[in-house]
Amino acid sequence: MALVVLIVLVTPREAPEVPTSAQYAELFAHRAIRADVHGEPQPPSVLAHAVATALPTPETFDAPVARLVIDRIGVDAPVEVLGVDSTGTMESPDGPDVVAWYGFTAKPGQGGNAVFSGHVDYVRHGPAVFWDLRKLQPGDGIEVRLADGTRIEYAVTAARLYPVDEVPMEDVLAPTSTESVTLITCGGTFGGGQYSHRLVLRAARTEVVRPS
């Protein structure tokens, strides 16, 4: 039987105002650093979930998205463009040190909500690119760099830790009326080959620095 993927467009909404301090207490509770940990599972299915679209702005950024930089936690990672697989599931980043930007969401710098994901750890590797994402606090900087040297800067506004089966993908992927980036990784406890939770962090654009 053929699989039908439903794409639902939703009305833009404000980024959720969820303080990070109350959410990080349980993140990685009882979680030991293990070099043999299995690769984390793919994010939940996006079947019948929202797909974000870029909101129009006066600015145009033609250069490809190249890197994600988070100085606070030592992240300076290449970005690959991913989408969904044949089952309608969001594709998972190809390795421990790369970040995925989902090309069906807004492009950074052009309005709306740009969604990224990265592994928290990785099989036969240990801690991965988003291992320390849990440490970010409101106001911490996140920077998206384009191939032409343009830097698009954001500040963390909110984070939420969701049980893996309760991630509200409509809200995570939905367009936002303020330009945002949303970062997704695994969290909670590890067992049975997967993590119990997903950490979803959002940041709002603060500045654009173009190459001189």
Torsion of CA 105, 171, 121, 119, to 10 degrees: 0
For residue 58, give every residue at least 6 positions away whose Cβ sits within 8 Å of its Cβ, in sequence order, or none. none
Q: Which residue from 147, 139, 121 is spatially nearest to 211, judged by alpha carbons?
A: 147
The H or E element spanning position 67 is strand 65-70
Per-10-residue mean pLDDT, the chain, length 212: 35 39 37 37 35 45 95 98 91 95 94 96 92 96 97 96 94 93 95 92 95 85
Supply the pLDDT for residue 67.
98
**Among 101, 93, 107, 116, residue whose Cα is nearest residue 202:** 116
- DSSP annotation of 20 reads S
Predicted pLDDT at 13: 40
Domain annotation covers residue 165? yes
User: Which CATH number does the domain housing residue 174 bear?
Assistant: 2.40.260.10
DSSP single-letter state for residue 59: -
Contacts of 84 (CB under 8 A, 6+ apart): 5, 46, 90, 91, 104
- What 8-state DSSP symbol labels residue 138? T
Enclosing domain of residue 79: 65-209
Residue 154, pLDDT score: 97
Give me the torsion for CA of 91, 199, 147, 108, rounded to 10°: 100
Q: Is residue 166 part of a domain?
A: yes
Q: Give, in order, the Cα–Cα distances in Å from 112 to each of 1, 32, 176, 189.
A: 35, 37, 5, 32
Q: Note the pTM of the prediction, 2 decimals.
A: 0.75
Rounded Cα distance between 117 and 101, Å, is 7
Domain presence at residue 14: no
pLDDT of residue 59: 63
- Cα separation, 107 vs 181, in Å, equals 9
Domain count, the chain: 1
Query: How far is Cα 163 from Cα 183, in angstroms, rounded to an integer?
Result: 16
Q: Does residue 144 lie within any of the structural domains? A: yes
Q: Does residue 203 form part of some domain?
A: yes
Is the residue at 49 inside a domain?
A: no
Is residue 22 exposed (0-12), middle (13-18) or buried (19+ Cβ within 10 Å)?
A: exposed
Residue 154 lies in a domain: yes
Does residue 47 sit within a domain?
no
Give the side-chain half-sphere CA count within 13 A for 91: 17
Q: What is the pLDDT of residue 186?
A: 96
d(CA 184, CA 53): 18
